[in-house]
Amino acid sequence: MRYFGWAMAIVFVLLAPNVFWLGTSTLRIQNLSNSSVDSVVYMACETTHMIGTVAPHQSIFRFLPACGDDTLEIMIGKNKFCQTYVEGELYHVDAVLNGVDHVSCRYDHLLSSLFIVKALW
């Protein structure tokens, strides 16, 4: 019984951040190209959020502001990509940079990965 209690405590510690994650919306920008991408910005809640330079194979994780129905846009310089619908909670978007002229976005399924993994890798 004692081991069961410890096992449940470990599971709780690992999964508790996911409960918090369900109440937010997030964005992960990952540069899969072999060169840096400069002037990366995202727009959410009618506010510009500067990221700056994303190094090759670097990931950047951000919590999106909660403002209700909105469109998330990724911009590199003056080029706009990924006009993606988001809300203040339950929307998790992965943006992949494959250079300065190709960006792809997709929704991440809520239960496909742990919050800790998404935020740190």
Note the pLDDT of residue 91.
Answer: 84
Least confident of 39-43, 76-80, 93-97, 109-113: 109-113
Question: 24 or 80: whose pLDDT is higher?
Answer: 80
The dihedrals phi and psi of 96, each to the nearest 5 degrees, come to -115, 120
pLDDT above 60 for 111: no
Do the strands 25-31 and 92-97 form a parallel or antiparallel pair, or are they unpaired? parallel
DSSP SS3 for 1: coil
Least confident of 18-32, 62-76, 100-114: 100-114
Token readout for 98 is: 């494959």
Q: What is the DSSP string of 27-85?
A: EEEEE-SSS-EEEEEEEETTEEEEEEEE-TT-EEEEEEP--SSEEEEEEETTEEEEEEE
Note the pLDDT of residue 2.
Answer: 80
Residues 28-83 pLDDT 10s: 999 999 999 999 999 999 899 999 999 999 999 998 888 878 899 999 999 999 99
